[in-house]
Amino acid sequence: MKSAKQAVADLLAYADVTIGGTRPWDITVHDDRFYKRVLAGGSLALGESYMDGWWDAPKLDQFFTKILAAELDYMVTSRHDILLAGVLARFTNRQRRSRAFQIAETHYDVGNDLYEAMLDKSMTYTCGYWKDAKTLEAAQTAKLELICRKLGLKKGQTVLDIGCGWGSFAVYAARKYKARVVGITISKEQLALAKERCAGLPIEIRMQDYRDVQGQFDHIVSLGMFEHVGPKNYRAYFEAARRCLKDGGLFLLHTIGGITSVKAIEPWIDKYIFPNSVLPSIAQIGTAIERLFVMEDWHSFGADYDTTLMAWHRNVEKRWPALKARYNERFHRMWTYYLLACAGTFRSRKNQLWQIVLSKDGIPGGYASVR
């Protein structure tokens, strides 16, 4: 019978990863308890043991690109975790109204100082558009401009921003296009800073669940929020969007997507980063919009999220000396693992980024795609 160390080494070999190797994606194990822990606990244990300092890789993003491309994620995810997640997803609504604020408390309220250090000046916490951009700030500006152009945004029009973050889109649309924006968030920290950033502009920021929005708007945007809605609520989400969208208006959905339909997210991400979140698939979105929306445009640029995440990671590392007084080293390793593991998911093309333009009844004569 092979040892736990040999079993882990054999698994990693499928992905061309060596324990104690010298390549950027090879790992160094600092605590021999790592092997049994990972075999017993799967991907959750892999992440937690990294947080505890039991192993390292010179380039964690390259390590994850290797193991995801080889589909080792299926081998190292604990069957118990998969079973439990499946049962919870089937018999409970983990994104129901009473639990909706958990994601804010765990992730978005962790501290505005961290996000100010990590993000660009616009405080945009979604994928940048790197087609012609060379800096993070330029990529985020290009993304915000792309959204406005896809909407055909005009002066004086009203826009509902579902999951407005720190107000990056609202500020851009109000300043450049003279639009009037209502942004909703479920994060106390985002609410406070967004109101400060939007002061003096025709913008209203509310602490509100998407299910409670009343009134109608010329356009709707939702940037990086749909990942928290959950499959049991997709239909209700799109019903709310249709109710709030004026006839002739457009709804732009900007979301991370998965290549398969699932009901739960990877266990480590669920526990430490995005509780109760699920990545939608093309099939799930398609089913949820039936008889509610016409799909006018579907733009995929997931590879740009790899570049965005690496830029965020560099920003955090550059500013960590100023952050470490508040955030301990275990948090630092957790955040590093989060950013670089996610970069690997996009680089290996396991995760996607979509901008989907929807209309209520179809654009007469057709929609002209914008890139």
Identify residue 142 by its one-letter amino acid code.
Answer: A
Closest CA to 174 of 204, 150, 196: 204
Upper half-sphere CA count for residue 359 (Cβ side, 13 Å): 16
Exactly one of 148, 164, 244, 342 is catalytic; name it. 342
**DSSP notation for 117-160:** HHS-TT---S----SS-SSHHHHHHHHHHHHHHHHT--TT-EEE
Q: Are 63 and 344 in contact, with CB atoms under 8 Å apart?
A: yes
Q: Are 48 and 41 in contact, with CB atoms under 8 Å apart?
A: yes
Q: Return d(Cα 158, Cα 370) in angstroms, integer.
A: 21
Tokens of 199: 């002061």
Angle, vertex CA 331, rays to CA 330 and CA 336, nearest 5:
100
Name the phi and psi angles at 14, rounded to 5.
-60, -30
Q: Return d(Cα 101, Cα 279) in angstroms, integer.
A: 18
Decide if 342 is catalytic. yes
Q: Return d(Cα 84, Cα 227) in angstroms, integer.
A: 20
Cβ neighbors of 273 (< 8 A, separation 6 or more) are 106, 107, 338
Residue 240, CA distances (Å) to 18, 148, 210, 268 in order: 50, 21, 7, 31
Positions marked catalytic? 342
